[in-house]
């Protein structure tokens, strides 16, 4: 009976904790704005193409560089393609790149960070040194170098962005592991003979999830911006496939004649990055026990 009561109390405490941080998040106006922006663009990526009146590659030379109108809400580009339609399809590419590249970076960063932080010693020194070397290079420059070596294509873009962002995840995870490695519950698990993999999985990793979620949200914005930068440099998704970065690149060539061709995809990139940054800041405050208790 006492075991059932204890289990019920633990479940209720966990539910209260989850409800508390979510309530703190919703009370932050900027974080809520960021969440709304992200949901809007996510819905646009999922369902927008179903509502599009045109195809993203459909050309109409007779209506090239048309200003926004009832027929073309965001105008047309130099080939007569509907910018609004291409913006909808481009959202899919941006979110796809964000999700997969962040997943790659998080997977590499979690594994290396937990190994370096928990075992320490020469493993920590080697892994940290390698990550520091990667940190010495600007992220976009390293991504360009990887793209040059691997070649163009959206898959290589996601791999390159994931690899260059892995060191940041490794540092976040390593720092979190170092803060809990010497805690009593970890030492107790060691004393009863639990394996390192069990300790890392059951006792260490749960304490890494909060900073990992926050960094993933912030890194999603970085990934979207990196994809746009690579596409702008013609190293990412190739035309005529729509990409916000490539739309800005091609729109820049006709900026004085048709400014809307670069304006709308540029605004979409800016709002998406802003949304994830606002949400990331809000999650950081909501998941921080000290700030949550103050609220």
Compute the average pLDDT of residues 157-175.
Answer: 93
How far apart are the C-alpha atoms of 215 and 205, rounded to whole Å?
15
How far apart are the C-alpha atoms of 240 and 236, rounded to whole Å?
12
Tokens 């979510």 belong to which residue?
A: 22
Whether 276 shows a pLDDT value over 70: the answer reads yes
Task: Quote the distance between the C-alpha of residue 22 and its chain's center.
Answer: 20
Please report which residue ranges of 152-208 form alpha helices under DSSP H: 154-180, 184-191, 196-199
**The two structure tokens encoding residue 104:** 């790659």
Tokens 């004085």 belong to which residue?
A: 256
How far apart are the C-alpha atoms of 12 and 6, rounded to whole Å?
10
Q: What is the pLDDT of residue 8?
A: 46
Are 44 and 54 within 8 A, CB to CB? no
Whether 1 shows a pLDDT value over 80: the answer reads no
For residue range 197-217, what is the model confidence (pLDDT) as tens digits?
888 888 888 888 888 988 999
Compute the average pLDDT of residues 214-221.
Answer: 90
Q: Is 110 exposed, middle or buried (0-12, 13-18, 19+ CB in 10 A)?
A: buried
For residue range 19-41, what is the model confidence (pLDDT) as tens digits?
576 677 777 888 899 999 999 99
């Amino acid at each position: 009976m006492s075991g059932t009561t204890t289990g019920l109390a633990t479940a209720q405490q966990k539910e209260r904790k989850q409800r508390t941080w979510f309530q703190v998040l919703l009370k932050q106006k900027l974080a809520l704005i960021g969440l709304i922006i992200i949901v809007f663009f996510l819905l646009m990526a999922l369902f927008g193409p179903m509502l599009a009146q045109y195809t993203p590659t459909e050309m109409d030379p007779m209506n090239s560089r048309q200003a926004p109108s009832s027929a073309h809400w965001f105008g047309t580009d130099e080939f007569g393609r509907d910018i609004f339609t291409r913006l909808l399809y481009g959202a899919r590419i941006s979110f796809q790149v964000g999700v997969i590249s962040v997943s790659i970076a998080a997977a590499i960063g979690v594994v290396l960070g937990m190994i370096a932080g928990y075992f320490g010693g020469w493993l920590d020194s080697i892994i940290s040194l390698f990550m520091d070397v990667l940190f010495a290079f600007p992220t976009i420059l390293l991504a360009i170098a990887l793209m040059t070596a691997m070649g163009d294509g959206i898959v290589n873009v996601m791999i390159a962005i994931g690899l260059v962002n892995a060191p940041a995840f490794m540092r976040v995870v390593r720092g979190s592991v170092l803060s809990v490695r010497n805690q009593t519950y970890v030492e107790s698990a060691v004393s009863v003979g639990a394996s390192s993999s069990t300790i890392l999985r059951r006792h260490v990793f749960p304490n890494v999830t909060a900073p990992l979620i926050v960094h993933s949200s912030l890194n999603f914005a970085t990934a979207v911006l990196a994809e746009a930068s690579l596409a702008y440099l013609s190293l990412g998704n190739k035309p005529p496939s729509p990409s916000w970065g490539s739309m800005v690149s091609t729109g820049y060539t006709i900026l004085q004649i048709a400014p809307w061709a670069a304006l709308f995809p540029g605004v979409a990139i800016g709002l998406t990055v802003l949304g994830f940054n606002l949400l990331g800041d809000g999650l950081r405050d909501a998941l921080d026990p000290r700030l949550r208790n103050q609220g």
